[in-house]
């Protein structure tokens, strides 16, 4: 399964999506900072599963209809930072979908996630990540889960990795930094947390109009997870 995650920087990079999906043969697409009133129902062979509605700039998930069947969707408003309370940029920061793999007869969960901005503390972002991963279990317990997106977590990721592992998930970074706008804040912002998946590689794709670079996740179900699903 190939999953693309992209923070569109206030929807500025939406015109790049169709080419990204086609050139990388994506199976799932997860967007952040999208104007969800101005996105199509389909990008090539990928159909819109759902999008957030209470955000000024929101989340969206697309899936390949020939490979998956949409089973269920959940969105969640996570603990707010001061930035959220004052400027209200994002009410819902996690959008998860349960998909049924048509050919292999198994279910899995994929989510698009956008953590609070850098003005918030890492402790708040860890709380958001922990809560989002727990909420995804409502879509199906013991199913493989892959949550990708903009984690806004450029430093102290070792500590985050420990916290994530304590919850039964793995944190996987891409092969190059994903944010380059400000020299001091450059680093890996966009990555994945997962359980039940073997992630062979996360590749940072070339930069477009966004200050975030899109990432391409190559993932497959672990043998035990495939059998369980």
- Rounded to an integer, the average pLDDT of 166-189 is 87
- Rounded to an integer, the average pLDDT of 100-123 is 92
Cα 201 to Cα 175: distance, rounded to the nearest angstrom: 8
59 Cβ partners below 8 Å, 6+ apart? 30, 31, 32, 34, 36, 51, 52, 75, 92, 93, 94, 95, 112, 113, 114, 149
User: Contact 78/128 with Cβ under 8 angstroms?
Assistant: yes
Reply yes or no on whether the pLDDT at 39 is more than 80.
yes
Where does the pLDDT of residue 196 fall: very low under 50, low under 70, confident under 90, or very high at 90 and above? very high
Rg of the chain's alpha carbons, rounded to an integer? 16
- Rounded to an integer, the average pLDDT of 173-190 is 84
Give tens-digit pLDDT for 50-96: 999 887 789 999 999 999 999 999 998 876 655 554 445 557 899 99
Domain count, the chain: 1
Greater model confidence, 203 or 226: 203
- Rounded to an integer, the average pLDDT of 118-145 is 92
Q: What is the pLDDT of residue 86?
A: 47
How many C-beta neighbours within 10 Å does residue 74 have? 16
* Domain carrying residue 25: 2-228
- Residue 34 sits in a domain whose CATH number is 3.60.10.10
Average pLDDT, the chain: 91
Greater model confidence, 29 or 154: 29
Burial class (CB in 10 A: 0-12, 13-18, 19+), 6: buried
DSSP letter at 44 equals T
pTM of the model: 0.92
Where does the pLDDT of residue 187 fall: very low under 50, low under 70, confident under 90, or very high at 90 and above? confident
Where does the pLDDT of residue 122 fall: very low under 50, low under 70, confident under 90, or very high at 90 and above? confident
- Rounded to an integer, the average pLDDT of 153-169 is 91
């Amino acid at each position: 399964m190939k999953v693309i995650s992209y923070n569109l920087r206030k929807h500025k990079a939406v015109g790049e999506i169709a080419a990204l999906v086609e050139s990388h043969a994506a199976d799932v697409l997860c967007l952040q900072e999208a104007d969800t009133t101005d996105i199509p129902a389909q990008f090539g062979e990928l159909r819109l599963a759902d999008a957030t509605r209470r955000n000024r700039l929101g989340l969206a998930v697309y899936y390949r209809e020939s490979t998956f069947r949409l089973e269920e969707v959940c969105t969640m408003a996570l603990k707010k930072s001061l930035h959220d309370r004052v400027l209200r940029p994002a009410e819902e920061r996690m959008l998860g979908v349960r998909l049924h793999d048509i050919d292999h007869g198994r279910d899995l969960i994929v989510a698009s996630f956008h953590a609070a901005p850098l003005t918030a503390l890492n402790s708040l972002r860890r709380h958001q990540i922990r809560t989002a991963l727990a909420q995804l279990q409502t879509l199906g317990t013991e199913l493989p889960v892959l949550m990708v997106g903009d984690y806004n977590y450029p430093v102290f990721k070792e500590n985050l990795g420990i916290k994530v592992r304590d919850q039964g998930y793995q944190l996987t970074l891409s092969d190059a930094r994903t944010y380059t706008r400000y020299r001091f804040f450059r680093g890996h912002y966009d990555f994945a947390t997962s359980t039940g998946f073997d992630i062979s590689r996360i590749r940072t794709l070339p930069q477009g109009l966004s200050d975030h670079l899109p990432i391409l996740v190559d993932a497959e179900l672990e043998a035990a997870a495939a059998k369980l699903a």
